[in-house]
Chains A and B, each alone.
Chain A
Amino acid sequence: MTDEWNTVSENDLHGYVDGFLNEADKARVEQWLERNPARAEDIRQWQAQAGELRAMFSTYARSDERDRALLSPKTNPDEATASASRWNAGLARRIAAGLLLFVAGALSGLYAPHILAPGRSDRVAEVAESLPRQAQSAFLIYASEVRHAVEVGPDQQTHLANWLGKRLDHPLNIPDLSKLGFSLVGGRLLPVNGKAGALFMYEDASGQRLTVLLGRNPDNRETSFRIDNSGGVETFYWIDGPIGYAVTGEVPRALLQKVADECYRQFEGAGEAKS
């Protein structure tokens, strides 16, 4: 990097595109680009390339049921076959692409904390920490889906609640967020922490979506509300006994908190009423 306001190097341009510049350098590059339209066009292309490349390969960031076998040839073959046939039987066929894709987010979310961040040996903490990550992956993947955002639509709400409640092994009712301006788009089954979890999607009149994710929690404890922000995607999450909850969206934090409060209230009601 150079100290001169007026000079921008090729490296600065890459740093700009890759988001590695501090605010001052960013501003310097932007000013320079205004005076150098040809290079500005390069930058525009590089940015478009980067976006396209990410989109192009993002769906490959997924787990595969054969991964474990690949890693440990000594895995009990019966177990492997059983799990493979379970996969083939129902789940995989219906939601193959989306689900596998999500496993990627789920797994990387689950393990990334202890791979990338120091000092976290507590597995339970990892699962709790991974919840917002998984919720954000699910939101990013499914909320942008136009045609297949959900498996079961709002017209079959009772079925949706029963089905996902059964898979989650926890009675649930689907929160009604209409007084906050959000209506149910539907729901789907997905893996959370390696077990069956549920995702509900809502949208407001403008099409702004948010998701509510539920997953089994390995230990039976409670947490307060927590908040996690990743690239503009906000998640409120909490653990209430056997279930972890995460409400995710690209909406103002205050609104998301209202949604989380509302969900908390309504989910709590379901657990008490039916269990």
Chain B
Amino acid sequence: MSSSHDRMSEGAEASAAAPDRFEEDVLALMPALRRYSRSLVRSDPDGEDLLQDCVEKVLARRAQWRGVNLRAWAFTIMTNLSRNRHRHTALHPEVELDDTLGLQAETQASDPLERSRLERALNGLSAENRSVLMLVVIEGYRYQDVAEMLAIPIGTVMSRLSRARHQLAEAMKDDNVISMRRPK
């Protein structure tokens, strides 16, 4: 939890001046938090649960917020919550198949089968590797940002990212017995 970006200092001042600003700022982050939470878990309900937990924690820990980069701070809290949650689900893993199909129909822009394979592959990643991958690929954070957010060395960020990518590619390859091309 060591995000120390100066670019957020303005937001901090605004927040000090207007107490409701904090809630408004969190509210504005909800879409990003919702996406990130869903990207860390296996099903929509899990995503909403994690989101709620995260919001509660953000509000509860409000006094601990250093006033810089609320988004990164909330993402850090979310990441930690998901790791705890993952430890729990690792003990109760039998919910996988049905729930993985819970991705919204709207998201199925590409081949739905490929997508469900990718989601299964994702669910094979460790929480640590998965969160780094999502922070970089989906949320667009730079490696250094991720290192600061998760309070880990940048080398660890790179190795987690690398493992996540190789593992996904490998899982997709192993599973690649179904050809999606129709004979012409």
Contact = CB atoms under 8 A, between A and B. Distances in A.
Q: Do A and B bind each other?
A: yes
Interface of A: 10-11, 14-15, 17-18, 20, 42, 45-46, 49-50, 52-64, 67-68, 70-72, 97-98, 101, 103-105, 107-108, 110-112, 114-121, 144
Interface of B: 6-11, 14, 23-32, 34-35, 37-39, 47, 52, 55, 59, 70-71, 103-107, 109-110, 114-115, 118-119, 122, 133-134, 136-138, 142-143, 158, 161-162, 165-166, 168-169, 172
A116 B7 contact: yes
Contacts of B35: 57-58, 60-61, 104
Contacts of A58: 35, 107
A111 B115 contact: no
A10 B136 contact: no
Contact of B107 (A57, A103, A116, A119): A57
Interface centre among A15, A49, A50 (most CB of B within 10 A): A49
Contacts of A52: 110, 114-115, 118
Given A52-B115, A101-B106, A107-B30, A71 B23 contact: yes
Contacts of B115: 52, 56
Contacts of B110: 52, 55
B7 A20 contact: no
A55 B55 contact: no
Contacts of B143: 14-15, 20
Contact of A45 (B29, B31, B169): B169
A202 B123 CA distance: 40
Contacts, number: 142
A25 to B, nearest CB: 14
Contacts of A108: 28-29, 31-32
Given A54-B137, A115-B29, A49 B169 contact: yes
Given A15-B143, A114-B10, A115-B70, 9 more contacts: A14-B158, A55-B109, A56-B39, A60-B35, A60-B47, A61-B34, A61-B35, A67-B27, A119-B10
B79 to A, nearest CB: 15
A112 B8 CA distance: 11
A29 B69 CA distance: 33
Nearest to A116: B7
A61 B107 contact: no
Given A50-B137, A68-B27, A120 B104 contact: no
A97 B106 contact: yes
